[in-house]
Amino acid sequence: MSVTQDSFDAFDAVTRGLKNFSAHARVSPRGGLRIVFEGYLDGDAANAVSEPLVALVAAWDGAPRIIVDLAELQYIASLGIGMLTMAAVAAKKRAIDMSLESPRPSVLHVLELLGIPQYIPVVKSTKGEGG
């Protein structure tokens, strides 16, 4: 299975019914997969996005790089951390590098408290580099 525009549209549609969270997936200019999370990744949002996110990672057949852009994410619940971990495991099984980009200080604090940067790299913004 490969990722098509329909796959991206279906992933984006998962969050349309949620009030305070949205997710968008696209091919980055450098050929990897770029997933953008915005708003509040609470338990309801994590439950809605978890399965489609892992399916998208499992189907990704482009450059072996996935960036999860957290610049506009204001809050992350423990279920959101679990969802990111499941996606990272799925990526690693396929030899795909996954990283978390530009988390706000409050989100970074939660990631660091749970030791996530030891398993999923956290990077500064690469948007100016065509990320």
For residues 51 and 23, the answer to whether their CB atoms sit within 8 Å is no
pLDDT given for residue 44 in this prediction: 94
Structural domains counted in the chain: 1
For the whole model, what pTM was predicted? Answer: 0.89
Tell me which long-range contacts 43-48 makes (C-beta under 8 A, separation of at least 24).
43/77, 43/79, 44/18, 45/15, 45/18, 45/20, 45/21, 45/80, 46/77, 46/79, 46/80, 46/82, 46/83, 47/79, 48/14, 48/15, 48/17, 48/18
> Tens of pLDDT along 83-92?
999 999 999 9
Q: For position 10, which CATH number holds? A: 3.30.750.24
> Tens of pLDDT along 112-123?
999 999 999 999
Give me the DSSP letters along 6-53: HHHHHHHHTTTT-SSEEEEEEE-TTSSEEEEEEEEE-HHHHHHHHHHH
Lowest mean pLDDT among 4-8, 92-96, 104-108, 120-124: 4-8
Segments forming the whole domain that contains residue 89:
5-129
> Tens of pLDDT along 2-29?
777 888 888 888 888 888 999 999 998 8
Measure the CA–CA gap between 61 and 13, rounded to whole angstroms. 21
**Could you identify the residue written with the tokens 């999923």?**
120
> Tens of pLDDT along 34-86?
999 999 999 999 999 999 999 999 889 888 999 999 999 999 999 999 999 99
Mean pLDDT score of the chain: 90
